[in-house]
Each structure stands twice: as C-alpha cells, then as structure tokens.
Amino acid sequence: MSDDRRMHLGLTIWPTGFHPAAWRLPGSHPDGNSNPTLLREAAQTAERGVFDFFFIGDRLVGLTGSQFANPNEVLRPEALTLASHIAAVTTNIGLITTVNTTYSDPYNVARATATIDHLSAGRVGLNIVTGKNEEAARNFGRDQHWDNDRRYDWAAEYIQVLELLWDSWEDDARVADAATGRFVDSDRVHQIGFRGEFFSVDGPLNVQRPVQGRLPIVNAGASERSRELGARFSDLRFTNSSTLGLAGAREYYADLKSRLSAHGRSPEDQLIIPGVAVYVEDTDADARQRYSELQHLLRTGPAGRARLSEAFGVDLSALPDDARIGDVVDTTALPHAGRTALDTSIDLYGHDDPTLAEITATLLRGAMFKEVVGSPQRVADVLEEWFTTGAADGFMIFPPRVPYNIDRFVDLVVPELQRRGLHRREYTGRTLRDHLGLSRPVNRFSAAPEAVPS
C-alpha cells in the first residue's frame, strides 16, 4: 500500500455458526450461546488475529420458527452481560455490544456501558438498534411495535442523553485529596438537565466518565432514517452493502460518507464496515468442498424454490433438487436476477452446472452478506479490492462455522493481509477508539458549559 491506511476487522459471534446448518457438523457447538469456553476462546482467537473488535449482537425475542433459517435467533446471550465476560478474558481487542434503544432506558445503559469501559480499560463501543420484531413489544408491556419514524426519533434523543451522561463527570472531577479530605470537585460533576420529547433526565451519572470519554457509537440499517442517524452520531456504520455487489457497495459507501458534512463531520469521522462470510482453506478446492458440505445441509423448502423460480422467470417447483440447471433452463436467456444467482453459484461451488438445490442455497444465503470461498490468497484478493476501491474501510467477518472458521481466518487470511500491508501486526493503541483511529472527544461541559444542549 502507498499510505498508512489499514483494514479494520471485526469478528461477530453467532455461537452456533453464521450458517444455520453449521451446528449439525461434528465438532460444532449446539450449546454455543451458553458455552463460556467457546465464547471466551472465540474472542481470544480474534485478539490473536489483532482484530479491532469483537462484535456482540442481540435480540429480545426467541422465535422457534427461525430455527431452520437462523437458529441464533432462537437463543441469544444478553449482550451487556457477555461484553463484561469478554472484557475480563481479553486484553487488547475492542468490544462492541448491542442495545435495543426501543426497549431500554438511557440512564441504565449509560451506567452499564461506562462501567464496562472502565473494567475493560477503554475497549467498549455501543451498537444502537431499534428492533424489528413485533413480538418484542409484548415482552415490554406494549400493544404494538413502534413504526420506523417513532423508533428513530426515540433513538436520536436516547443517544443525546447517553453522551451527556457520559460527560456528566469531567475527567478530573475525582480529586481524592487525602490532605483535605475532599473526594470530589462538585463543580466538575454536572446535572445534564435534559428535557426532550421522550426523556427527562437530570443526571449526573454515578460512574466516572468512560476511559474513552464517550463510547464509539455504531449503527446499521439501509433506511433513510438509519442513514441519517448514522451520519449524525455514528463512528462506525455496519452494513450489508456486500449484497449489492462491488459497484453497488461503492455507491452505498459514497452515499454514507457524503452525508457527514451536513453534521459538521468529515469522511474520516465514520468507518463503513460491511459484513462478509468467509469460507477459507489452504486451497480453493478444499474451501469449496467445505462450502458445499454446509450448503447441502441447508433446508430450503418450497419457499426457497419459489424464490429461485422468481429469479429465473421459470416455474421450477416440480423439478427434483438434483436437476442440473443446464438441463432445465436456457441459461443463455436468463433475466438479470437469474444470471446473477447462477454466476454466484458457479463461483462459490467451483463448477459450471450447479443443481437446483445448490443454486437455491446460494440464493438464500447470499441475501444476507457476501460469501467468499477460497484460498487465503483468493479471500485476500476480494477483501483488498473492496478496501482499496472505495467500497469499505474494513469488514465484519462472519464465521460460517464456530469455532472452526474463526481459527481458519486468523491462521490463513490474517497473515496474508499482513504480508500485503493491509492489516496491523500488533496493537499500537490501548482503547477501541485507538484501534478505530478515532480521537478522544473533549468533555462538552468543561469545553463550553454554556453550549450544552438541553
């Protein structure tokens, strides 16, 4: 590389594996969501790979109907609790923990996250989600799940309260003067006096200002409201832009960066991190074999075949799973969606006449995040192209199988990225802000107390 820009890497933990069939393989962990050894070792492996952060998602409902498409939606460890555990068993890696703002209170969350930031020596970030499951409302005494606008109005105010509470103690407010007996300089501890549409919060927090000053804020989502919330508040944007293809991801990246100036921010103030599912082995052939092994365990059902028929513009519902696409469809006259599905399947499986079952499985999985299958060199080529041509500032790695694909990525891909100068060889900072290249914000009370918003 011609400059000092380095790829930011995060590992997200879906304990039964990102691929819904992964837990069925020997050596996998169907108890992954409650297995402390697995969770600890996953984070420690990512730390060995000098990842920026270990990402902890969350969900407030357990839907058994999701067990075949996504078993991780049935059981899920609570994110703040898991972040505290991971903080205690790691030293350098950042921890991004998820909070659903629609069903929580900013004072409690500000207090918990500030505490974890101190316990981890400044390694915590906060991923803000507003929730998508209507079932969650009935777990919190509500008749209905709020619409998109109300959730985002609430979330914007919520983040303002968080940041004010984190700043309510100035950095040097605890003086601990043994000679005079004065423990705190009360002039440096501030009520925030927040009065908004949704929240009325006096403050101050009863936890000192976080080590990082304010925790890095993360959000995701493709809606207009999500993009604008991110432009205003987020230090890192997690995206599924990898599903758009390289050209589409570049456009998405440019759009997100272009929104920052309206909020007095520069493009460097926010990192764009798409998700990627990586199947890597020593050779392309071995990686494709592993990919096929998992895909053949996927239950696609009539709904999957219906999606394939729609993509190809032909009713394929009555055909057997093992029918070869070239025997049942004129592949030279496919609509765009069908051509894309076929080309993707050919690339991932490594043969030019996949079965209907294979294409269906690829179509269903590819709608979540881009899948990359191959040798370390092939995987690194893909990541490098996206990183150097304006599509990403780094990647969230989704291991299809846990812990197997975590080890494979760290042992095979990370050294290749380091050899190319794309990834650091050691941690050069102490906090998550350091890892992300973000400066520590000045306390707004000590900097300009008269300008603090209410």
Strand duo 174-177 + 182-184: pairing = antiparallel
Q: What is the pLDDT of residue 67?
A: 85
Annotation: binding site: 58, 98, 152, 223
317 domain residue, yes or no: yes
CA 123, 396, 300, 345: dihedral to nearest 10 degrees?
-170
Range 232-259 average pLDDT: 96
Do 74 and 88 lie in one domain? The reply is yes
Do 242 and 356 lie in one domain? The reply is no
Query: Where is pLDDT greater, at 54 or 137?
Result: 54
Range 110-120 average pLDDT: 98
- Domain span holding position 160: 8-282+375-436
Annotation: binding site for FMN: 58, 98, 152, 223
Q: Taking all residues of the chain, what is their mean pLDDT, rounded to a whole number?
A: 93
From CA 161, how far away is CA 453, in angstroms rounded? 10
In the predicted structure, residue 155 carries a pLDDT above the cut 70:
yes
Structure tokens given for 247:
């050209």
In the predicted structure, residue 452 carries a pLDDT above the cut 80:
no
In the predicted structure, residue 448 carries a pLDDT above the cut 70:
no
Do 198 and 219 lie in one domain? The reply is yes
3-class state of residue 284 by DSSP: helix
3 domain residue, yes or no: no
Residue 268: CATH number of its domain: 3.20.20.30
Q: What is the pLDDT of residue 3?
A: 56
Query: DSSP labels for 11-25?
Result: EE--TT-SSTTGGGS
Do 192 and 228 lie in one domain? The reply is yes
Domain count within the chain: 2
Share of the chain above pLDDT 70, in %: 98
Range 134-163 average pLDDT: 94
3-class state of residue 355 by DSSP: strand
253 domain residue, yes or no: yes
Structure tokens given for 430:
């102490």
Q: What is the pLDDT of residue 386?
A: 98
